[in-house]
Structure 1
Amino acid sequence: MMSGIRLLSFFALSFIASGLGWDSLSLAQHNVISGILYNEDDSNRFMIDPPGEMTTKTLDKLVDDLAGTHVTTYIICCCAKNANYPSEAWSVYGDGFDPNLDNTQPFFGDVDPAGRDGLRRWAHNLQKMTAEGIDTNAYMIERSREKGISPWISIRMNDAHDAPLKESPLHSRFFMDHPEFRRKTGSVGAWTDVCLDYGRPEVRAHAMALIEEVCSRYDMDGLELDWNRFPLHLKEGEEDLYRDVLTEWMGEVHEVVKSAEDK
């Protein structure tokens, strides 16, 4: 189980050029990934069917449509700010949603009413799958292997959707409870202003908790850390101060992945 997990870190070239011994590694020493890598969004699968009507047929089709194409790797995203499976490490999207209430319920916060139908499908269908004992990530991993596609899990390292909103259901408990951990506080200019500051040990610990859980939970071929969602991770002016800290932290992630391989 989980033999030879690969670790792919987008937007991490500055981390790799470090003193961790990684500088001596070359592509020739590793199996190069070929073909097309297809990233499945963390919410897309839940928004296809009407609220509360999702079945595994939807998951089957998402994978089956890629079979026989040039897609060799299916990268299944498991989170934005919230997890999309019953996580113990992070809050889960849809917490607080009541399918018996309309779109004025508190769950939707200050989201524009015009954008609530999609969020409703997402929350209701995720709740339905969970109630039926179906972890969509695990299901799609198994389906991918059946179709000859290598299954990976992807973690968004700093999602900033709905940055201008104060009470969006896309915001996690960690994000809401700790505004002091954001790159900037106060008024929001760019979305990346509210990205979490990885110079803070609390933020790194929060991310590591999910990484460890994912590595122990899923029988995946690889783990992608998606630093492009969204690509600012340190406070302005502190990049030089903390980039080596992040490089070191990536080494810790590598050890977690190696440990999962051996189990």
Structure 2
Amino acid sequence: MIELRDIYYTRLGTRDLEGAEKFTTQILGLQVVGKTNDRLYLRGDNKHHSLCYFLGDPTDHTVAFELRDWTAVNSALEQLEKAGVLCGRGTDAEAQDRHVESFIWFLDPTGNRIELVSRPHDAARRYFPSRDAGVTGFGHVGLCSTDPVRDQAFWLNHFNALVSDWIGPCPLLRVNTRHHQMALFATDHKGIQHINYQVAEVDDVMRSYYFLKENNVKIVFGPGRHATSGGIFLYFEGHDGMIYEYSNSDRKIIESPDDHRPRQFPMHPSSFCVWGAKPDIAEFKD
């Protein structure tokens, strides 16, 4: 069993770094912590970065998790190799690019690239937002899955992942006591379906709702309240069509993980929003 501590960063390809910087700073409210001719690093908390845009194919996505035991890189790689999972070790140059001491990578059954990092770098200075969106940190991702039941079994068999709830066949998975760090959504392709950033208060969600409307950003779902985590949310379309979400859902802690009973919700808009908001997101529709 490979023990994961938390989700750590995402990497997204783009043909337009300037557009990515404009959106992530002026709209999303992240802080630029590094920029080169082909890289843009951004943060929303005390990590070195939680989001990296790189010059490349906009469909090239990566999700990274931190290993619970920083000495477990070799054993994690051995376990994945023994299980027949396509995987490999990152080079020193690749680790430097990711601002971690070392990492390995693998492909899940859908083909999503996942990286497991050891000793990721932290920021020496406090996070200073480019826009006061109330961002407190990177929360979770929605991950595309061509077979959520199969991919759920993959994560439960090889990692310390647990199911918090289901919506239809799609599991919301956690590796710590926060409600979820990853949700698997049924699609016909690989990639990241959405990226969540946590905000401090409900007021932050509502302030951003009006801010996004004033700036002609397409809102695709919300404001609303999730039936699963109980958090207030807002989804909107970002650079290269990536969907971003603000919510305060990860403040909802599962106090007794061993006693938690995962709930089964139907694949219906009401399972995503108890207030009645209707999603303009294909993966959220029945």
- What's the TM-score, normalizing by structure 1? 0.31
Higher relative contact order (CA 8 A, sep 6+): 1
Whichever structure has more strand as a proportion of its residues is 2
- What's the TM-score, normalizing by structure 2? 0.29
Whichever structure has more helix as a proportion of its residues is 1
